[in-house]
Amino acid sequence: MKEIKIGNNAAGKRLDSFLKGYLPGASGGFIYKMLRKKNITLNGKKADGTEKLREDDLIKIFFSDETFAKFKGNSDAIKSEKNKETDLSKYGDVKVIYEDDNILLASKPVGLLSQKSSPKDISLNDWLIDYLLSTGSEAVKELDIYKPSICNRLDRNTGGIVICAKSLSGARVMNELLKSRNLDKYYRTIVSGNLSEKIYLKGFLYKDEKKNKVFIQKDDPKDDRYSYIETEIAPVKYNKDADLTMLEVKLVTGKPHQIRAHLSSIGHPLIGDVKYGGKIYKGVKHQLLFCYRVCFPDDLPAEFENITGREFKTKLPDVYDKFF
């Protein structure tokens, strides 16, 4: 028999939805059958699966060890890694900018994937689980119920701050902020040419998945494949000798390759970004783009008071010093 006490990460879920996630190897029909036969109970009583779970509810599963192991996920195997020494250096120089019970802000190095593109890849998501296990975080005690993960992605060769959710509440609030554009993300980049004034760019972006490249139209092409985009650009410094400008870019909408393609479309490609017309300078062979600052709004829920209205920054990579 297995007892599960519901915590914050599962509160608000329907019982049947929770059980389908907790027992991924079991069919929906099997779960409902077990509920009817009272082989699964909620707070000691028969349940039909439609009940909304509350914190401290108690679920009991009356399965044999063999049956339970057959239908359960692999979180026990993940947790067993806690007793092994974790080498976080394999992910590169990932820095923790901020951490609380709900979120973690990590600075991703260039070269590390945000998410796996194939099973053999290692990613920032993998680093997050290993980091939480190595620090004994409470967030890994309910891996059956919720697996911490990143909320926003950066391209492999774009570095900087990535928002990670340690709790389901953190994931819900951060994802809503990103969706509603109420969380401001600022990037630093260096482009060819002289930009001396602030610019607010608008346009329409389409990504060709086969080529892994995006295309931008200034005016609405009346094509459903295109998404509306907005990008704010402000000059920071100009290097007259090299004819290069350092920019601060606010990503208003968050589409793939948006900053890279939008700047290229106005004749100012990122240095190193050969895919979008950029040139290689001083050995920089990838887009020089770094998310160095994020700002949270003033109207977050009470449990996020530690980050309400706050700004978080991380240091720019040393390569920026080559040009300014």
Identity of the residue numbered 286:
H
Asked whether 34 and 40 are in contact (CB, 8 A), the reply is yes
Q: What is the pLDDT of residue 81?
A: 47
Assess contact for 244 and 238: CB atoms under 8 A: yes
Beta strand segments in the chain, E:
2-5, 40-42, 58-61, 95-99, 103-108, 149-150, 159-165, 184-192, 199-208, 213-217, 227-239, 244-251, 289-295, 311-313
What is the rounded average pLDDT of the residues 52-81?
A: 77
pLDDT reading at 83 higher than 50: no
Q: Give the type of residue at 181.
A: R
Residues of the chain with CATH 3.30.2350.10: 79-180, 186-291
Among 1.10.10.60, 1.10.3720.10, 3.10.290.10, 3.40.720.10, name the CATH number for the domain at 2-72. Answer: 3.10.290.10
- For residue 110, name the pLDDT band (cuts at 50, 70, 90): very high
Looking at residue 144, what is its pLDDT? Answer: 73
Confidence (pLDDT) at 65:
83
CATH 3.30.2350.10 fits 79-180, yes or no: yes
Q: Are 227 and 167 in contact (CB under 8 A)?
A: no
Of 32, 38, 157, 132, whose CA–CA distance to 82 is shortest? Answer: 132
CA distance 182 to 194: 30
pLDDT average, residue stretch 298-320: 96
Provide mean pLDDT across the span 85-104. 92
Whole-structure pTM value? 0.82
pLDDT tens, residue by residue, 292-308 = 999 999 999 999 999 99
Q: Which CATH code fits 186-291?
A: 3.30.2350.10
